[in-house]
Structure 1
Amino acid sequence: MDASAGETAVPSSSRQQEAAHLKATLKRLRTEPRGWVFSLKLALCVVLTGTGVTLALQPVLWCRIVGVLLTGAMFAHAAELQHETLHNLAYRSSRANTVTGIVLGLPMLISFAAYRATHMRHHRDLGTPMNREFFDYGDQYGENSERSRLAVFLTWAVRFSMVYHYAFFLAHLGRSLLGRDFPGENARVSRRIRRDHFLIATTAAGLGALTWWTGNAIIVWAWILPLLLVAAPVHAAIELPEHYGCETLNRDPFANTRTIRSNRIAMWFTNGNNYHVEHHLMPNLPIERLPDLHTEVRDRIRYFHSGYLDYFVKLLRK
Structure 2
Amino acid sequence: MESVTTSAPDTATDQVIERDEARAGSAPENKELIRAEQAVAGKYIGGVAWTPVIWGLGNLAVWLSLWPLVFLDILPLWAAFPIATVNVAASYLPAHEAMHDIIARRGSRLHWLNELVGHLSMIPLILPYRVARLTHLEHHRHTNKPGLDPDYEMHGSGPVNALWRHFRNRQPGSTIGLRGYPEVLKRLGRPEVVLDGIAYQLVFYGILCALAWNGFGIEAVLLWWLPRHIGSSYVLFFLSWAPHHTNFGTGRYGNTRAWKSRLGNIGSMGMQFHIVHHLYPNIPITRTPAAYREMKPLLEARGCDLGTL
TM-score scaled to structure 1, two decimals? 0.68
Deviation at 1:16, TM superposition (A): 7.8
Deviation at 1:198, TM superposition (A): 0.8
| Equivalent in the alignment of 1:183 | 186
Map 1:193-272; keep pairs closer than 5 Å: 193-228=194-229, 230-239=230-239, 240-246=241-247, 248-253=248-253, 255-260=254-259, 266-268=264-266, 270-272=268-270
| Equivalent in the alignment of 2:143 | 126
Cα pair distance change 1:285/1:212, threshold 3 Å: same
| Match among 289, 292, 300 for residue 291 of structure 1 | 289
Q: Does 1:162 align with 2:167?
A: yes
User: Percent identity over the alignment?
Assistant: 17
Q: Does 1:89 align with 2:94?
A: no
Rounded to whole Å, the distance in 1 between the matches of 2:146 and 2:228 is: 32
Deviations 1:188-217 (A, max 9, x none): x32233134313422431343233235453
Cα pair distance change 1:130/1:224, threshold 3 Å: closer
SS of corresponding position for 1:41? helix
Cα pair distance change 1:291/1:213, threshold 3 Å: same
Deviations 1:168-193 (A, max 9, x none): 599679x7xxxx9953022xx32233
Question: AA paired with 1:79?
Answer: Y
Question: AA paired with 1:158?
Answer: W
Deviation at 1:89, TM superposition (A): 1.1
SS of corresponding position for 2:276? helix
Report how many residues are paired.
272
Q: Gaps spanning 5+ residues in structure 1: where?
A: 1-11, 143-151, 308-318
Q: Gaps spanning 5+ residues in structure 2: where?
A: 1-22
**Does the CA-based 8 Å contact 2:56-2:95 persist in structure 1?**
no
The one of the two structures with greater contact order (alpha-carbon pairs below 8 A, sep at least 6) is 1
Cα pair distance change 1:42/1:267, threshold 3 Å: farther
Cα pair distance change 1:183/1:217, threshold 3 Å: same
TM-score scaled to structure 2, two decimals? 0.70
Cα pair distance change 1:162/1:36, threshold 3 Å: same
Q: Does 1:101 align with 2:118?
A: yes
Cα pair distance change 1:22/1:196, threshold 3 Å: farther
Question: AA paired with 2:125?
Answer: M
Rounded to whole Å, the distance in 1 between the matches of 2:123 and 2:59 is: 14
| Match among 10, 29, 46 for residue 60 of structure 2 | 46
**Does the CA-based 8 Å contact 1:112-1:193 persist in structure 2?**
no
| Equivalent in the alignment of 2:83 | 70
Question: AA paired with 2:188?
Answer: E
Q: CA RMSD in A?
A: 3.9
Decide which moves more: 62-71 or 13-22. 13-22
Deviation at 1:221, TM superposition (A): 1.9
Deviation at 1:130, TM superposition (A): 5.8
| Equivalent in the alignment of 1:24 | 38
Rounded to whole Å, the distance in 1 between the matches of 2:260 and 2:161 is: 27
